[in-house]
Each structure stands twice: as structure tokens, then as C-alpha cells.
Amino acid sequence: MKFFADTADIEEIRELALLGLLDGVTTNPSLIKKSGRDFKQTIAEICAITKGPVSAEVVATDVEGMLREAAELTPIAPNVTIKVPLTLAGLKACRYLSEQGTMVNVTLCFSPAQALLAAKAGAAFISPFVGRLDDISQDGLTLIADILRIYRNYPQFNKTQILVASIRHPLHITESAKMGADVITAPPSIIKQLVKHPLTDKGIEQFLSDWAATGQKI
């Protein structure tokens, strides 16, 4: 499974890269707003840190606007991935960009039917939002299982990677991995939570205590 960082914070991205836990980055207008930085400059800096896909989201809602914005973003770096919403206009833009050789991340997916359309439009990534479904008392992970089942039925959809998004906690990551999802994108804080286990902490504490009792040094 690939790990993408869902952030526009440069220092957080650098830290994950140094840990070997960074395969790509996803951004969105909300994350750019939170960073308080220039959009294009931020994307350029992120692309310099990782060779993996870096999602830059368009804000236009019409096809022409999406393609115009994509034309501004794709020259920033070879690993820029254009992020479009799962609308008819977004799917049309996805088809055009994909045919031109541009990676496209189709975002805001909430149903298996939407994921099916994105794959047919040639998306490099489909981003189902598990946490937002959980927020309205639906099982977001069931959506991942359904998309996996559909894509596995049709070999021509193998090029569309399932990028699990809107991750709220580590269990979303491990359960998605057990199902075989291709990618997760999560805030760095959640990715780093994967290392946590009380028995690990307890074991380290015991080892250090026992070592101190020997009076030795390494």
C-alpha cells in the first residue's frame, strides 16, 4: 500500500519523507488555505520533496475552466496530478486530460457507481471519502470493499488506483490495507499514529529499566 500525505505543510511532508513513509501528497483548497501560502509555489516545493504523485486541485466547476487551470498546474512538475471533482464536467475533463497523458485524481467519491464512472473516464486515482460517510452514519469502509469488487471484475479498470481519503483514524488505514486498497491519503499525524502500541511502550520501559540495573554502557 502507498502512503500519501494529505497536507500542504512542507515541514510535515519533509518529515514523512525522511521516515520513508511518503509515496505522494494530496492537497485541496482547504489545506492550501490552512497553510496560508501561495498555491503554485507550495505545489512546486512539494514536488521537489517527493517524486510521487502530488495532487493539485482545480477550483473551476466547468470543463473549460478545469482544463485551463490544469494547463497552468501541469507544467509545475512532471509528478503533478490534476484533481477534479466527481461531476459530469469533472469526468469530461478527466477523460481529456488522461488521454493527453496527465494523471488525474477524481475526488469526492461517495458511491460505487461514481467510482465506476471515474474508472471509465480513465482516472489514475479515485478518492472515496470514508470518514465523511462515517460522519453521516454510513460505513465508509464498505464503499472501499464495493469499489474493489467492481474494479477486480474488469481488468481494464486496473489502471485506476483506489486512493482511500477522508481518513479519521489508523483503523481506516489498516482495514483498507486488509482489503487491498492501493493507496491511502491521511494527515501526517494519523500516519504516525500507526507506530503507537501500549505494549511497545511498556516493553521499551522494561528493557531500559533492566539495562540500567546491569550498570553497563554500550
Query: Among all residues, which ones are annotated catalytic?
Result: 83
β-bridge partners, 84: 106
How far is residue 6's CA from residue 10's CA, in Å, rounded to a whole number? 11
Largest CA distance in the chain: 72
- 50 φ, ψ (degrees, to nearest 5): -125, 145
How far is residue 31's CA from residue 62's CA, in Å, rounded to a whole number? 22
- Cell matching residue 3: 502512503
Cell 554502557, residue?
217
Q: Is 21 exposed, middle or buried (0-12, 13-18, 19+ CB in 10 A)?
A: middle
